[in-house]
Amino acid sequence: MIIRMLRAHMRPLTAWAVLALLIVYYLSIHPQGLSIGVLTAWSNQGTALALLAVGQTIVVLSRGIDLSIGPIMALTNCMASHLVNGSPVEVANGMILVIATGAACGLLNGLVIVIGRMQAIIATLATGTIFSGIALIVRPIPGGDISEGLSDFFSGDLGGLVPMSLIVILGAIAAWYPIRKSVLGRTIVAVGSSEAAAYASGLRVKRAKIGAYVLAGVFASLSGLFVGFQTLSGDPSIGLSYTLNSIAAVVIGGTALTGGAGSIAGSIAGALILRTIGNLLFFNDIEPLAQPLFEGLVLLVAVSFGAARLLRMTSRMEAFQ
């Protein structure tokens, strides 16, 4: 039984094992070594991407992809710089509006893909451009103001023991499992495994596909909020790199681009691996101008690995036809 479980979860477990090794190496070369401050800084740097990777994973599980997830994050981040400040009531209302905006963007994606019957990669590329344009209208240049109290809370630590951002990451994992066990979550996975079989079984395929994009939009808005808590401002230009990294995190975490099989926890490990590699490049005195080259190579390898898996699985399916 244990061996079977290990085999079933081999890819995400491998991602977490790689992450553990990278963290040990990172702490060994960090000037301050192991401390709550170092762990908090490390966790803060990876949380926004981890939240975004959760949203991307949900879409990929339904055999889709969301190239607008970074622009949604940027748009909600810019909105937060206008709305998430002032009195506690104003801050709460602002956060609700920001999250609702992310959900609305995801809903638009789902409707365009499902009702408009467009390819996901084309539809989300187009809507992502629209969201980026709106973000520039909302915040033409980086700036704004976000509640310092929330910033201190979410970017700090709990009792000097655990980074709050790490608790946020664990909360994202915990939030997914009730969704995964729900009718919507099971249908999302079933659609990713075989849309025809899901439809023949009487499952509400269209609702599940739309729901996957709505959930992705919600997690993108949470990511945008967290970036705001880190920077106390909004920036309309942050979306592109996050989109590419979210896809790489999904692949590194072991989620199949063919849909129907994957792990939220694995994708989070993938996101933290990417951020840890960035830190290692910095502390190993890699020239700042050369760092994007190494990061790009990591992205290329990750996405190529996912594409190769997709090609092999497609070839096998064709062989049985």
For the chain, list the domains and their CATH numbers: 36-283+290-320 (1.10.3470)
Contacts of 205 (CB under 8 A, 6+ apart): 187, 191, 195, 198, 199
Secondary structure (DSSP) of 200-231: HTT--HHHHHHHHHHHHHHHHHHHHHHHHHHH
**pLDDT for res 222:** 96
Which of 117, 112, 103 lies closest to 72 in space, CA to CA?
Answer: 103
d(CA 68, CA 206): 20
What is the identity of the amino acid at 169?
I
Residue pLDDT, tens place only, 82-130: 999 988 999 999 999 999 999 999 999 999 999 998 999 999 999 999 9
> pTM here?
0.89
- Overall average pLDDT of the 74-79 stretch: 96
Which of 278, 279, 35, 19 lies closest to 157 in space, CA to CA?
Answer: 35
- Of the two residues 238 and 258, the one the predictor is more confident about is 238
What is the SS3 assignment for 242? Answer: helix
What is the SS3 assignment for 285? Answer: coil
Residue pLDDT, tens place only, 89-99: 999 999 999 99
Tokens of 129: 């451009």
- Residue 178, CA distances (Å) to 103, 104, 172, 182, 203 in order: 19, 22, 11, 6, 19
